[in-house]
């Protein structure tokens, strides 16, 4: 598997400097912990679905998960995107329950609870590069073309940006809150990225099998209309998969070993069904 690369968004650095400058270093470190737990939830669900995070980018209210493939199934993307905010709300409720049982813990965990609440709420805003925008795009892709869905999401981004700028201007008459501007900068990146919106990439299954020992074979049987990504979760370091594709009459029409399957996966993409793969290879 490729090494995970971590990039830092410029607004995250500004966010960190602002908090530390105003004596909020404890709050900042709580945010860092919360964001990594947020990302862990994304990565956990992604791996369970056969995907993995290739690049992540730290932003003030969460972590962008970068991918360079458009093979992600919309329903999977919704599950992966919601995993982060759900993790935040679970941690928040757990912390509040802890206060109920051990009231003395409030002074040590209040910042952690607050950071989870803010991170979870902001990531549900339906705009890129936040998780809410990812969910919105996935829902739209199920009802219209990808191009139309992206255009609509960009319009939503612009509307939310205008609203946040208006709120920031109003806040200047009371207490200047630079947080609104940081969020605006993050959402602008979702507009300016064009079609390179944050994505997930399929796991690189170039796993290392242990040589010098007997490794079992894991036989898999699938119908021809199944998409290839469905089998990715069965690949591991401890066994080799063997894929048998059957037709509607339950007759085996093709077989692949693990290496052949991975070659087809790379060539045709994870969302390609086996019947199309067989047709293109004159095997059906």
Closest by alpha carbon to 219, among 238, 205, 236, 240?
A: 240
What number is the average pLDDT over the span 129-151?
81
Q: What is the pTM of this model?
A: 0.61
Query: Which of 80-84, 166-170, 184-188 holds the top average pLDDT?
Result: 80-84
Can you give the residue ranges of every domain in the chain? 5-202, 216-280
Higher pLDDT, residue 64 or 277: 277
pLDDT, residue 186, reads 67
Query: Cis before residue 98, ω within 30 degrees of 0?
Result: no
In the chain, pLDDT over 70 holds for what percent of residues?
Answer: 71
pLDDT, residue 169, reads 84
pLDDT at 189 over 70: no
What number is the average pLDDT over the span 153-175?
83
Query: pLDDT-based confidence at 91, cuts 50/70/90?
Result: very high
pLDDT at 183 over 50: yes
pLDDT at 95 over 80: yes
pLDDT, residue 196, reads 45
Higher pLDDT, residue 77 or 110: 110
What number is the average pLDDT over the span 90-94?
94
Query: pLDDT-based confidence at 204, cuts 50/70/90?
Result: very low
Query: pLDDT-based confidence at 205, cuts 50/70/90?
Result: very low
What number is the average pLDDT over the span 23-43?
81
pLDDT, residue 90, reads 95
pLDDT, residue 221, reads 93
Mean pLDDT score across all residues of the chain? 76
Least confident of 37-41, 127-131, 250-254: 127-131
Cross-strand partners of 56: 6, 65
Angle at 130 between CA 42 and CA 141, to 5 degrees: 85
Query: pLDDT-based confidence at 176, cuts 50/70/90?
Result: low
Residues whose CB is less than 8 angstroms from the CB of residue 15 and which lie 6 or more positions away in sequence, other chains included: 28, 60, 182
Query: Cis before residue 129, ω within 30 degrees of 0?
Result: yes
pLDDT, residue 4, reads 55
Angle at 213 between CA 208 and CA 216, to 5 degrees: 75
State both tokens at 65. 């998960």
DSSP string computed for 145-159? -HHHHHHHHHHHHHH
Q: Indicate the CATH number of 216-280 among 3.90.1280, 3.10.620, 3.40.720, 3.30.9.
A: 3.90.1280
State both tokens at 98. 């802890």
Higher pLDDT, residue 133 or 71: 133
Residue 23, sorted as left (phi over 0), alpha (psi -120 to 50) or beta, turns out to be left
Residues whose CB is less than 8 angstroms from the CB of residue 185 and which lie 6 or more positions away in sequence, other chains included: 10, 11
């Amino acid at each position: 598997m490729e090494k995970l690369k971590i990039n830092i968004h410029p607004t995250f650095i500004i966010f960190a400097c602002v908090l530390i400058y105003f004596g909020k270093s404890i709050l900042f470190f709580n945010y860092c912990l919360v964001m990594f737990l947020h990302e862990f939830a994304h990565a956990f669900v992604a791996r369970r679905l056969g995907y993995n995070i290739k690049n992540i980018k730290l932003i003030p209210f969460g972590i962008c998960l970068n991918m360079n493939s458009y093979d992600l199934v919309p329903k999977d993307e919704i599950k992966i995107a919601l995993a982060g905010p759900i993790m935040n709300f679970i941690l928040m409720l757990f912390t509040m329950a802890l206060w109920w049982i051990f009231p003395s813990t409030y002074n040590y965990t209040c910042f952690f609870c607050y950071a989870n609440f803010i991170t979870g709420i902001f990531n549900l805003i339906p705009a890129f590069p936040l998780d809410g925008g990812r969910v919105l795009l996935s829902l739209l892709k199920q009802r219209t073309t990808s191009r139309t869905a992206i255009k609509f999401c960009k319009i939503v981004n612009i509307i939310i940006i205008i609203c946040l700028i208006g709120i920031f201007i109003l806040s200047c008459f009371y207490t200047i809150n630079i947080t609104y501007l940081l969020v605006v900068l993050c959402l602008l990146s979702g507009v300016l990225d064009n079609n390179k919106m944050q994505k997930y990439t399929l796991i690189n299954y170039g796993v290392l099998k242990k040589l010098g020992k007997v490794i079992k074979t894991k036989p898999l049987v699938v119908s021809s209309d199944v998409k290839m990504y469905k089998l990715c979760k069965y690949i591991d370091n401890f066994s080799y998969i063997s894929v048998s594709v059957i037709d509607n009459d339950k007759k085996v029409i093709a077989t692949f070993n693990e290496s052949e399957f991975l070659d087809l996966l790379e060539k045709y993409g994870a969302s390609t069904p086996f019947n199309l793969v067989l047709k293109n290879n004159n095997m059906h």
